Amino acid sequence: MSESKCKSDAVQWLQSVSGCQVSEFGEKVADILDQLFDGIYHIQEAVVNKRVRWDDPSRIQVVLYGSMSTYDFSRLTHLVLLAHRYCVRVEISGSAPGYLRILFSDRKREGAIYSRHPTIEQAIENFNNRYPEVET
């Protein structure tokens, strides 16, 4: 996002409460978290933290308390869909009891496997080609 464009509400909020610099990639991550939690301010303790490097141009790590799931309380599903929409690789790992470490890595649509990220449609096509249909 260029300086001439308006920054999202999430980025403006983040900068106003933390005073941090936010890279273009940081803007993407802030927007993802803002949508995922219906307002980035709902996870203030996690995102307004000196350990979160919002100015990093390609990797941002956030540690959150809680869990994620599919369907009911579907933040896990929404995170996956947002990652595909924004072309961002997301890795989730344990951090401490009750805490999740979420690592966001910037990707492009084309390139080597370690640098690209498919659209959700491509991911579904790859999934369907790899795994057989199951009767439910």
* Nearest alpha-carbon partner for 48 in 12, 90, 20: 20
What pLDDT does 136 receive?
85
Q: What is the mean pLDDT of the chain?
A: 92
What are the extents of the domains in the chain? 9-130
What pLDDT does 5 receive?
56
End-to-end CA separation in angstroms for the chain = 44
Give pLDDT tens digits for 24-41.
999 999 999 999 999 999
0.85 exceeded by pTM: yes
Q: Virtual CA dihedral for 38, 39, 43, 47, nearest 10 degrees?
A: 130
Query: Which pLDDT band, with edges at 50, 70 and 90, does 23 fall under?
Result: very high
Query: Which pLDDT band, with edges at 50, 70 and 90, does 1 fall under?
Result: very low
Could you tell me where the DSSP H helices lie in the chain?
9-18, 24-36, 44-47, 75-86, 120-130
What pLDDT does 2 receive?
43
Q: Is the pLDDT of residue 58 over 80?
A: yes
CA distance 3 to 85: 22
